[in-house]
Amino acid sequence: MAVNAQLIKELREITQAGMMDCKKALEATDGNINDAIVWLRENGLAKAAKKSDRVAAEGVALAKENDKKVVILEVNSETDFVAQNEKFINLIDEIANVLLASDAKTLEEGLALKTNSGETIEQALVNATATIGEKIQLRRFTLIAKEAGNSTTLYNHANKRVSVVLNFKGTIDASDAYNLAMHVAAMSPQYKNMDEIPADFKESEFSIIKAEAKEDPKLQGKPENVLENILKGKLSKRLSEISLVDQQYVVDESFKVGQFLESKKVTLIDMIRYEVGEGIEKVVTDFASEVAAQLGN
């Protein structure tokens, strides 16, 4: 079986191993994904392909504010059914209020905060797990203090799975700020701008683009300098899809988001987007889990 860019990308997503390691693994196993996972693990190169016994990958994201602060948080459950339970929703709202009244900076500090009943957030989550019968956990939160001269806005999507908080330096009309938050919710940028994108991510993406180019007959035979410029253009386009200021503004496509912000004379300080389950490792395949168990991981 031929080793192509799509196979390499698939194996990278499963194992988080390097692109060249994935290529070697696939070449060594005639393009068999499952055998390649074993090869990577045997060579100590796979970082993922395992999961917890119980993964809480459903839940609710919520952004809330008071006069002084804005908080955005994600609380997970194991099933979507529980995520819509009234007691679960009320617990999340209480946790948000407790966080808003605090100066907690870390998850550990947040879990140690006392609720109105006198128990900590951590204890409340344990009790909820016992009562509901599913693993309930506070996965993450971010607190932002409101400052004079700045503007903050929040957005909670109707499905309760996506929330956004934006913090601007300067004053922006509330409707413009809200529309930008909706844009972030819909277009899911990962970074505010290109400068925030890590160098290793850019290198990884460029390597994938180069691998894809080898499979593209339209690019065969191109002079080296021409091909390099084409590939750099592809990289720039791909990176612009995850950089907020480089995205076309969905509310007014005559602007890029960065241009729109400039027209409003504001600077975006913070962009926080939470989506339920984002980044939580899912089960890859039953086979991969078996391999991890056999290798003692």
Query: Is residue 197 packed enough to be buried (19+ CB in 10 Å), middle (13-18) or exposed (0-12)?
Result: middle
pLDDT on residue 149 = 92
Per-residue pLDDT of the chain (297 residues; tens, 9 = 90+): 568 888 888 887 777 677 788 888 888 998 888 788 878 767 766 543 443 345 567 999 999 999 999 999 999 998 888 888 888 999 999 999 999 999 999 999 999 999 999 999 999 998 888 788 888 999 999 999 999 999 999 999 999 999 999 999 999 999 999 999 999 999 999 999 999 999 999 999 999 888 888 888 888 888 888 888 999 999 999 999 999 999 999 999 999 999 999 999 999 999 999 999 887 644 333 434 444 444 444
Contacts of 257 (CB under 8 A, 6+ apart): 180, 183, 244, 245, 246, 247, 248, 249
pTM over 0.75: no
Structure tokens that stand for 56 in this block:
């809480």
pLDDT on residue 45 = 61
Query: Is residue 92 packed enough to be buried (19+ CB in 10 Å), middle (13-18) or exposed (0-12)?
Result: buried
Q: Which domains, from first to last, does the chain contain?
A: 5-50 (1.10.8.10), 54-146 (3.30.479.20)
pLDDT on residue 279 = 74
